[in-house]
Amino acid sequence: MSTTNNALILLARILLSVIFITSGFGKLADPAGTASMITGAGLPAATGLAYLAGLFELVAGLAILVGFQTKIAGWALAVFCVFTGLAFHSGTIAVPGWPEPALGWINALNGIMMMKNFTLAGAYILIATVGAGAYSIDARRGTRAPLAA
């Protein structure tokens, strides 16, 4: 693989890791908002799941950033993105007392968030398939995923 391709894979890993590193850190620092969403989705143990999600996001995001166990991290993040897209961003949102125009805007944003999650899932599947590139811990350990033929 060319130096340019390896540099672009590194850039992709950096860009794809930022969202989960920052989100995971935020959930660990203040899980209340995430716990509220989890409760709203009808899942149990909302605060515990919020901390678990934060830890998962932080660790998986860091794994993508440094290119460690990229195949596993990529697939795990892809599944996570699809699950959270369906569990938290599908359907309509009804906030009691909010004006109808505000609800329309929130529901449009929620649909965009679901599409964002599905798009990220595709990117993580690609990273899991292509591998972390030469500038990664996986490459130093000799565990790069082969490029698709």
Rg of the Cα atoms in the chain: 17
Question: Which pLDDT score, from 0 to 100, does residue 148 have?
Answer: 45
Q: For residue 144, name the pLDDT band (cuts at 50, 70, 90).
A: low
Question: Which pLDDT score, from 0 to 100, does residue 98 have?
Answer: 79
**pLDDT (mean) for 94-113:** 84
Question: Is residue 146 assigned to a domain?
Answer: no
Question: Is residue 117 assigned to a domain?
Answer: yes
Q: What is the DSSP string of the chain?
A: --HHHHHHHHHHHHHHHHHHHHHHHHHHH--HHHHHHHHHTT-SSHHHHHHHHHHHHHHHHHHHHHTSSHHHHHHHHHHHHHHHHHHHHSS----TT--HHHHHHHHHHHHHHHHHHHHHHHHHHHHHHH-S-SSSHHHHHT-PPPPP-
Question: Is residue 69 assigned to a domain?
Answer: yes
Q: For residue 48, name the pLDDT band (cuts at 50, 70, 90).
A: very high
Residue 101's alpha-carbon distances to 2, 91, 94, 104, 108, in angstroms, are 51, 17, 12, 5, 11
Question: Is residue 148 assigned to a domain?
Answer: no
Share of the chain above pLDDT 90, in %: 75
Lowest mean pLDDT among 29-43, 66-80, 91-105: 91-105
More confident residue, 142 or 79: 79
| Model confidence, pTM | 0.89
| Single-letter code of the amino acid located at 102 | A
Question: Is residue 36 assigned to a domain?
Answer: yes
Question: Is residue 86 assigned to a domain?
Answer: yes
Residue 26's alpha-carbon distances to 30, 54, 93, in angstroms, are 6, 7, 23
Query: What is the distance between the alpha carbons of residues 91 and 135, in angstroms, rounded to a whole number?
Result: 41
Question: Is residue 68 assigned to a domain?
Answer: yes
Question: Domain tally for the chain?
Answer: 1
Domain that holds residue 67: 3-141
Is 80's pLDDT higher than 70? yes
